[in-house]
């Protein structure tokens, strides 16, 4: 499929034309598209790039078909953005590491003890390839395929930065 057709199929909408309501009982959204005068229920958001481009969201119907795409969810009105983020937080659990207490290496295995925005976490990684640097951001994949993120290595305390720099 040519790129032009692919982009057209994304149905990128203006965030100003979108209203999102949260349906907590069903863990889904109700979507109102002003340009189409359409209301969709049981809408599920999908983040195809949750680490590298977390603002990009595809909204799907209950059958999994794309309804529309929002290039930057930060441009939604305050209430719609809050509703979308509440559901995404449930669906995409990626703790943000704010402090590294301990990192022990044994061969190619690493045992981490960290403080995250979701509380204290201990986890193991295998090899240096489980740690990916994206600019100042670091993404860590543990042995259970859980993701952890350091949003900005510069925001870590001195000890945490030293642990990362001496290990990787």
Q: Cα–Cα distance between 61 and 56 in angstroms, integer?
A: 17
Looking at residues 112-135, what average pLDDT do you find?
96
Q: Tell whether the model's pLDDT for residue 2 goes beyond 80.
A: no
Q: Would you say the pTM of this structure is higher than 0.75?
A: no
Count of domains forming the chain: 2
Query: 90, 112, 127: which is the final residue of a domain?
Result: 90
Share of the chain above pLDDT 90, in %: 79
In this structure, are 102 and 79 located in the same domain? no
Tens digit of pLDDT for each residue in 71-116? 999 999 999 999 999 999 889 889 999 999 999 999 999 999 999 9
Would residue 27 be called left, alpha or beta, if left means φ above 0 and alpha means ψ between -120 and 50 degrees?
A: left
Question: In the structure, what pLDDT confidence band is assigned to residue 37 with cuts at 50, 70 and 90?
Answer: confident
Distances, alpha carbon 134 to alpha carbons 4, 24, 33, 93, 153, in Å: 28, 34, 35, 19, 10
Looking at residues 115-140, what average pLDDT do you find?
95
Question: Residue 155 is part of which domain span?
Answer: 97-167
């Amino acid at each position: 499929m040519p790129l032009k057709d692919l982009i057209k199929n994304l149905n990128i909408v203006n965030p100003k034309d979108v209203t999102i309501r949260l349906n907590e009982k069903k863990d889904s959204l109700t979507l109102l598209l002003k340009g189409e005068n359409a209301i969709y229920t049981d809408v599920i958001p999908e983040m195809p790039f949750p680490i590298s481009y977390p603002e990009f969201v595809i909204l799907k119907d209950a059958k999994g078909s794309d309804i529309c795409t929002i290039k930057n969810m930060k441009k939604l009105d305050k209430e719609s953005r809050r509703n979308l983020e509440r559901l995404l937080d449930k669906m995409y659990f990626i703790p943000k590491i704010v402090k590294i207490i301990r990192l022990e290496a044994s061969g190619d295995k690493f045992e981490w003890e960290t403080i995250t925005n979701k509380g204290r976490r201990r986890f193991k990684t295998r090899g240096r390839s489980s740690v990916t640097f994206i600019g100042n951001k670091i993404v860590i994949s543990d042995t259970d395929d859980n993701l952890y993120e350091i949003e900005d290595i510069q925001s870590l305390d001195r000890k945490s930065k030293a642990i990362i720099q001496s290990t990787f």
